[in-house]
Amino acid sequence: MTRLNAAWSKLRWSLAQRGLRGTMRTALGRLPRQDTTPGEEKPLLHPFDQRYGVDTSGLIGGGDLRSGHKNDVFNTAYYGMAPSRFRRVMEDWVADSGHAAISQYNFVDLGCGKGRAVMMASEFQFRQAIGVELNPSLAKTAEANLTVWTDAARAVCPVQILCQDATEFSFPEGPCLLYLFNPFAAPVVKRLIERLASEFADRPGLLDVIYFNPEAGEMFDAHAGFKLLWTGTVEMSEEDAAVDHVASPEDLCSVYRWGGV
């Protein structure tokens, strides 16, 4: 019965994410091929994990990220952000003179997964870095990773992981930098934008959003309160490119600023 429930959850997720045709195409594409060696496409352990003794590697499909929450069906997948891409975008954002000092900003990663981006964010002089993750198993892994990271004195700002729904997270006072690595589908993004508009109604100019793989970016584009500052591709290092089996050179990143309405 447990296997049947799991299969049904995956089917519901696929239908919500891909529709009926996409679900059928995906199922057909997973039929065994005679020219494919079992396991040959399994992602390699990322050098980030080898270097720092943490666990952020691997690809987990959204259909396998079940927590019992109503928003499970809108999970995309777990895959760690390429460190070189994250750091390049962060360095560009920090260098931008159009916002307050980084020391005043709260960094918030919604859908933080195993916490790779939160750990890297803690290397910057933020007011604090917060990772929010709906899936208890991923959140537990992120917490364990963070313990290793902070015990090695790599964090230069306070950092924490919270296990909760992204649309129910209460943003800290003061300026915030919101980071999204395409963690959930459009219905959740829509609710998130509504919450952002409410929470930052009296804080114009004090919210920036870095959105990697912005599959629901048109929702930010269409909202009168958000201004697109930049969109484009971000180059990966040779080290990241050698082990990343998900990212593409054409992947986009978009940066938005809340101006109020």
pLDDT digits (tens, 9 = 90+) for 178-209: 999 999 999 999 999 999 999 999 999 999 99
Segments of 50-188 assigned E as strands: 60-61, 77-78, 106-110, 128-133, 159-163, 176-181
Residue 77 lies in a domain: no
Q: What is the pLDDT of residue 22?
A: 41
Are residues 198 and 167 in contact, defined by beta-carbon separation less than 8 angstroms? no
Residue 208: closest CA among 107, 57, 118, 134: 107
Q: What is the pLDDT of residue 36?
A: 37
Residues 27 and 153 in one domain: no
**Residue 169 is part of which domain span?**
83-258
Residues 120 and 241 in one domain: yes
Residues 89 and 190 in one domain: yes
**Interval 68-116: pLDDT, tens:** 888 889 999 999 999 999 999 999 999 999 999 999 999 999 999 999 9
In the structure encoding, which two tokens stand for residue 12, read together?
């519901």
Q: Is the pLDDT of residue 43 over 70?
A: no
Q: Is the pLDDT of residue 133 over 80?
A: yes
Residues 24 and 113 in one domain: no
| CB neighbour class for 188 (10 Å; exposed up to 12, middle 13-18, buried from 19) | buried
Residues 29 and 140 in one domain: no
Are residues 180 and 133 in contact, defined by beta-carbon separation less than 8 angstroms? no
Residue 54 lies in a domain: no
**Residue range 237-258: average pLDDT?**
94
The CA-based angle 6-12-14, given to 5 degrees, is 100
Kindly report the pTM of this predicted structure: 0.84
Q: What is the pLDDT of residue 68?
A: 86
Residues 107 and 229 in one domain: yes
Start-to-end CA span in the chain (Å): 50
DSSP-H helix ranges across 30-151? 47-52, 83-95, 116-121, 136-151
Residue 121 lies in a domain: yes
Is the model more confident about 224 or about 36? 224
Residues 112 and 2 in one domain: no
Residue 237 lies in a domain: yes
Is the model more confident about 211 or about 42? 211
Residues 26 and 88 in one domain: no
How many Å apart are CA 159 and CA 122, to the nearest integer?
Answer: 6
Q: What is the pLDDT of residue 69?
A: 84
**Interval 202-236: pLDDT, tens:** 999 999 999 999 999 999 999 999 999 999 999 99
Residue 112 lies in a domain: yes
Identify the band that residue 41 occupies on the pLDDT scale cut at 50, 70 and 90. Answer: low
| Mean pLDDT estimate for the chain | 87
Residues 138 and 210 in one domain: yes
Residues 97 and 189 in one domain: yes
Residue 59 lies in a domain: no
**Residue range 238-244: average pLDDT?**
93
Number of domains in the chain: 2
Are residues 118 and 161 in contact, defined by beta-carbon separation less than 8 angstroms? yes
What is the domain-level CATH number for residue 177?
3.40.50.150
Residues 115 and 212 in one domain: yes
How many Å apart are CA 124 and CA 103, to the nearest integer?
Answer: 9
How many C-beta neighbours within 10 Å does residue 260 have?
Answer: 15
Residues 116 and 220 in one domain: yes
Residue 146 lies in a domain: yes
Residue 101 lies in a domain: yes
